[in-house]
Amino acid sequence: MVGSIANSLVELGEDNTTPMVPLVDNVGTTCLAITEPEVGKEAVEAKDASIEDVLVKYVEHLKERTQHHLGYPYNLDFDYGSVIAKLSGFSINNLGDPFIESNYGVHSRQFEVAVLDWFAHLWEINKQDYWGYVTSCGTEGNLHGILVGREVFPDGILYASKETHYSVFKAARMYRMECVKVETLVSGEISWEDLQAKLLLNRNKPAIVNANIGTTVKGAVDDLDKVIQILERNGFKDRFYIHCDSALFGLMMPFFNQAPKITFKKPIGSVSVSGHKFIGCPMPCGVVITRSIYEKKLSDFNQVEYLASVDSTIMGSRNGLAPVLLWHGLSRKGYKGLRKAAQKCLRNAIYLKERLRESGISALLNPLSSTVVFERPIDPTFIQQWQLACEGNIAHVVVMPNITITKIDEFIEELLEMREAWFRGGKIAKPCVAENIGRENCLCELHKI
């Protein structure tokens, strides 16, 4: 694999030194044919054998891809096999409100509410004061949080930094909300000066602010206290709603010493987190928590006689297996296990950053983050091999509990071998990423000390 990557061609820009960055590398995928089964015992047996062969090969493919996964924030270190085996024969559907049972009895609400209570305790909101549900993913949590904000302030303007996850801008389009993009610092954190300036341009309308508790690419955290101070100082007191997109770090930061707190004791409106990221889960899932007083603005209009329940969720029918697995994962790990895993991620992220910089590779690691940003590798094949997430001239590795020192060393060794081939002879200049990650983090010929 290494040799084939090293020998592949690299397309250069007009100056013959700077690699061109394709906007989209993956333009298609393979597919499997579904054929009609034939009649007869031998034909059925042959069909079953063929299906089994496809699945066996698929499992081997998944194992290989799991071993070379670095770029996306998924904890792939989990084992729910015994739980899934017990429940795979049931169609578990938590349709409707998690706190109001419907006429459909094959559900897991008792597990779902237990998970919600756990997160409510983590984020310091009393049981009677919150509402929430287990979502299908972090995006659904953002869609719901922004929707609640719009219902609280129908004429409000949505403010989000330009490094916000795309799902927030998707919400703005879906709900036809006016949305203002705010500039960011080189770290990826929201620019407080630009946020204040843009708020003042629209002082007559309420503000719905998305706060990033870990940006998608750089893992930067927007300081909640600063957001609140700016809103209150500029005439928005009691006229703002803050949604916290905490997809990954919402579960990690509570276990870091001196990390800013995510808490409903502050005047925030909602928090969303992904369940399949830090905890680890075989299917995408998440949690969204908001204040019950806000949720009534949705639930009062969502009485569903057909369900004999209320439904103000985004999806309606919801995966009932996910709450059971989240309950299982949280019960097994507990606060001590999660703290240990979070601190391991931070240590290993520091190790990765130091190894990159010792090797002459520009790299950024924000405080209290496990997202290591570095120069985008030149070869798309190498990027796909390690499943790196890229944006412009930079790529990142999100160090999760399953990312070991051994795996980091393997990645670094292969990356260095590739770079030797890419930059041999000086025909291609090592990239300058000062604009992306700051001059102090760039080790190009111009900026290295």
Please report where in the chains the tokens 């097994």 appear, as a residue: 332
Query: What is the separation of C-alpha 275 from the centre of its chain, rounded to a whole number of angstroms?
Result: 10
Distance CA 294, CA 129 (A): 10
Active-site hit among 187, 270, 272, 369: 369
369 is catalytic: yes
Q: Cα 172 to the chain's mean position, in Å?
A: 19
Report angle CA 263, 265, 271 to the nearest 5 degrees. 40
* Alpha carbons 207 and 238: distance in angstroms, whole number: 10
Could you say which DSSP state residue 294 is in?
H
Residue keyed to tokens 């034939």: 38
76 alpha-carbon distance from chain centroid:
14
Helix (H) or strand (E) run with residue 232 in it: helix 224-233
Cβ-based neighbour number of residue 431 at 10 Å: 21
Helices (H), 304-320: none
Length of the chain: 449
Name the residue among 238, 184, 235 with its Cα closest to residue 210: 184
Residue recorded with tokens 């084939």: 4
* Nearest alpha-carbon partner for 278 in 349, 345, 367: 345
Q: How far is CA 434 from CA 151, 190, 259, 292, in A?
A: 41, 18, 27, 45
Return the active site residues: 369
